[in-house]
Amino acid sequence: MHLIQLFLPLYDNDGKPFAKAALAAVHVELADRFGGVTAFARSPAVGAWEDDGGRVRRDEVVLFEVMTPHVDHGWWATYRDELERRFRQDEILIRASAMERL
């Protein structure tokens, strides 16, 4: 089993919040494809990274998680590209971890 985590920003690069419908659409898409999804949306996580110019950037993000027995790398690459376009991001982090159900 694999745990897939997606980190989606709450604000665009100008600080304008994304419409709630944008995040709701991702929730529906993941639930439909994987039969369930968990979204950590009430207390956004805060991410920080250094850009190419050496400046520290920060994001407030919502974390979505799904579980799947197989990671379809092609599907995830296409979906990540789509999310990067929708949310106007250079990169959206999606990561997979092997996990064991207890």
Per residue in 9-51, pLDDT (tens digit) is: 998 888 899 999 999 999 999 999 999 999 987 767 777 777 7
Structure tokens given for 70: 């197989």
User: What are the DSSP calls for 63-80, one per residue?
Assistant: EEEEEESS--HHHHHHHH
Structure tokens given for 21: 């419908």
38 forms bridges with which residues in the sheet? Answer: 65
Tokens 């159900």 -> residue: 101
What are phi and psi for residue 32, nearest 5 degrees?
A: -65, -40
Structure tokens given for 5: 């985590």
Strand 2-9 versus strand 38-50 pairing type = unpaired
Per-residue pLDDT of 4-20, as tens digits, reads: 999 999 988 888 999 99
Domain of residue 91, CATH code: 3.30.70.120
Q: How many structural domains does the chain have?
A: 1
Range of the domain at 86: 2-98
